Amino acid sequence: MTIEPAASTELSLLQEFLTAHALPAEDLEARHLEEFLVCREGDQLVGCVALEPYPPDGLLRSLAVREDQRGRGLARRLVDQLVERARQRGFTTLYLLTTTAEALFLHLGWLPTDRAEVPDAVRQSSEFAALCPASAACLRLPLSPRSPGERDTRSPPR
């Protein structure tokens, strides 16, 4: 299944998909769409993930995979592609909040982080400021620039 940027017409589709997977969607606007990666089966969404840019940092949000496609590495592929795009664009650290997937992100190499250490711009995002409970786990992924030809050993291709 191909992972690609969301289409500019997919705002309500993504809002419904995220809401169906118990993730925040009420703050999503059309301008967020260009930072979404999606995976489709026909005209149905199967998975998505998004980056909210706060250069040089970013917030990963809205990772979801349809129930019948879970456990096959799709979330890993979505996260890998988002991370690689962010690295290529010069982002230095990604952050996220999660109430459901802390173990998965630790498995993918993300690091537990104190909210107080998160840059102000990221902390002012709606996820940090309003949508995610204080009990949500906070994680970060430092992105080192990769030299040409170097392999990503943290997330090998499937």
Ligand X SMILES: CC(C)(COP(=O)(O)OP(=O)(O)OC[C@H]1O[C@@H](n2cnc3c(N)ncnc32)[C@H](O)[C@@H]1OP(=O)(O)O)[C@@H](O)C(=O)NCCC(=O)NCCS
Residues that bind ligand X (CB under 6 A): 21, 23, 63-65, 70-76, 98, 100-101, 103-104, 107
Helix ranges, 27-89 (H): 74-88
**Which CB, 26 or 90, lies closer to ligand X?**
26
**One-letter identity of residue 39:** C
Provide CB contacts within 8 A for 107, sequence distance 6+. Answer: none
Asked if residue 56 has a cis previous peptide bond (ω within 30° of 0), the answer is yes
Q: Give the nearest distance from C-beta 98 to ligand X in angstroms.
A: 4
Q: Which helix (H) or strand (E) holds 120?
A: helix 120-123
Q: Give the nearest distance from C-beta 106 to ligand X in angstroms.
A: 7
**Which CB, 1 or 90, lies closer to ligand X?**
1
Q: Give the nearest distance from C-beta 148 to ligand X in angstroms.
A: 26
